Amino acid sequence: MKWWFGIDLWQRVIAGLVLGALVGLGLRYGMGAEAAGDIVRTWAKPFGDAFINLIKMLVVPLIFTTLLSGVLAMGDPKKLGSLGGRALMMYMGTTVVAVSFGLLMGTIIQPGAGFDLSIASAADIAEAKARLDANPQPGSVGEQLMHTLLSIIPTNPVAALANGDVLQIIFFSIMLGIGILMCGEAGKPLANVINSAAEAVMKLTLIVMETAPFGVFALMAWVLGERGLDILIFLGKLTLTHYIACGLHILITYGLIIRGGLRLPLLPFFRGAVDAQALAFSTSSSNATLPMTIACATKNLGIGKPVASSVLPLGATINMDGTALYQGVIALFAAQAMGTPMTASMYVTIILMSTLVSIGTAGIPSVSLFLAATTLSVIGATPEQIVVVIAVLFPFDRILDMMRTVTNVTGDLTVATAVAKWEGEFDEEVFRARDPV
């Protein structure tokens, strides 16, 4: 077994991802869609689900303990304000740029031009309508903003922890941390318990991460064995638009921040982030990837624990660049398919709405697709048309979701690196050496 653990985790995860994809596609096109679907649902999906459940098991205790520990490590609530303010400004700025990339590529490639929306099946339309009815979105920009702000404050912190409401957990953790700091000497015994708990949860995280290559293999075999590459037939231009826009945002926006703004080399950053990126691609969940993201930040990128434990949980919830970018792409796709001319005011409103809608988006697979109702209303789509657009995309959304989750996670690590360097919580030797997770 020494040879196995001697290989960097990111290499094992990538190998699992590639092998899973090959197995899934081999079954799909070697045995046919129905037989392959039965096999991967029976044998691959349960192992993938078990891996996802293991990671989800860590999310709430990890956010609660590490964020609390990070606040306590700062020692001064004023430093928390400086750190949080910088992180929020960067998160909002990169999100606006991300939507702009999506709109730019959507305008150039025209993914919806000539697309026939009538291909949506009755079953997909029914499911899309049911999900939209169950989760109505606030309509105006003001309503969306107030809804987001009010949803941050928990009426019952215990319920927030039980339900996994990440924004509310973050708010309560920060407030509790400030309260403990204000206690001075009287708060030190509780602070010691919290720090010990955070260390124990991080050790457990590293144990669970060792199962990632097998979980990723199972997830990729399931997704591609069941869906194959049909998305390239039905939504090839949309997929191309989305992947190119995300790729450009990662390379240009994040690259400029790391290389131009921080004067750091790009290769160590992307090498250090690849573990989290590979896991994000396979799980399609920012929350599920959070334990790995924090491990990459501290072990690979030299980001101090106070920054990693506060900025990254916040980013996993409010920094959804890939999600916001996708909202813009969907809006243009629908407008082009329906023949709706776009105006300058529509573009501006889409940027604002996509940014606001992405804040607080649950970091779980495909949830952002159903939030598109808000941005689709900007182009004048009727409720019936919104349902049809979402029904067309829903069967193939998982493969689109993979890339936007990679974008989200890379953005989190970029902002955390910047904040750590500005706050003096950055170890450049670790960053350049890259100590594998």
Dist CA 218 CA 229 (whole Å): 17
| Residue type at position 125 | I
Q: What pLDDT does 144 receive?
A: 61
How far, in Å, are 41, 94, 223, 372, 436 from residue 394 at the CA level?
Answer: 19, 27, 14, 12, 37
Per-residue pLDDT of the chain (437 residues; tens, 9 = 90+): 778 878 888 789 889 989 999 999 999 999 988 899 899 999 999 999 999 898 888 888 988 998 888 888 877 777 777 788 888 899 999 999 999 999 999 999 999 988 888 777 677 678 777 766 666 655 555 666 676 677 788 999 999 999 888 788 888 998 999 999 899 889 999 999 999 998 899 889 888 888 989 998 998 899 888 878 876 777 889 999 999 999 999 999 999 999 999 999 999 999 999 999 999 998 888 888 888 999 999 999 999 988 998 899 888 888 889 989 999 999 999 999 999 999 999 999 999 888 877 775 654 555 566 678 778 888 988 888 888 888 888 878 888 889 999 999 999 999 999 999 998 999 999 999 854 44
Q: What is the CATH number of the domain that holds 101?
A: 1.10.3860.10
Three-state secondary-structure class, residue 426: strand
The neighbouring-strand residues paired with 300 are: none
Of 176, 352, 206, the closest CA to residue 275 belongs to 206
pLDDT of residue 121: 67
Which tokens belong to 405? 């989750």
Tokens 């037939």, located at residue = 233
Place of tokens 């896991």: 279
- Residue 137 has a pLDDT of 57
Contact 64, 162 (CB under 8 A): no
Count of CB atoms situated within 10 Å of the CB of 94: 21
**Full domain range(s) for residue 376:** 2-433
3-state secondary structure of 303: strand
| Total-model pTM | 0.86
**Residue 381: what are its φ and ψ, rounded to 5°?**
-70, 140
User: What pLDDT shows up at residue 366?
Assistant: 54
Task: State the amino acid at position 321 in one-letter form.
Answer: D
CA gap 123, 88 in Å, rounded: 40
Q: Tokens in use for 98?
A: 């991300």
The pLDDT of residue 217 is 93
Residue 348 CB contacts under 8 Å (≥ 6 apart), including other chains: none
Taking alpha carbons only, the member of 219, 222, 368 closest to residue 282 is 219
**pLDDT at site 99:** 95
What is the DSSP secondary-structure string of 347-411? Answer: HHHHHHHHHHHHTT--SSTTHHHHTHHHHHGGGT--HHHHHHHHHHHGGGHHHHHHHHHHHHHHH
Among candidate residues 339, 341, 101, 333, the one with its CA nearest the CA of residue 239: 333
Domain count, the chain: 1
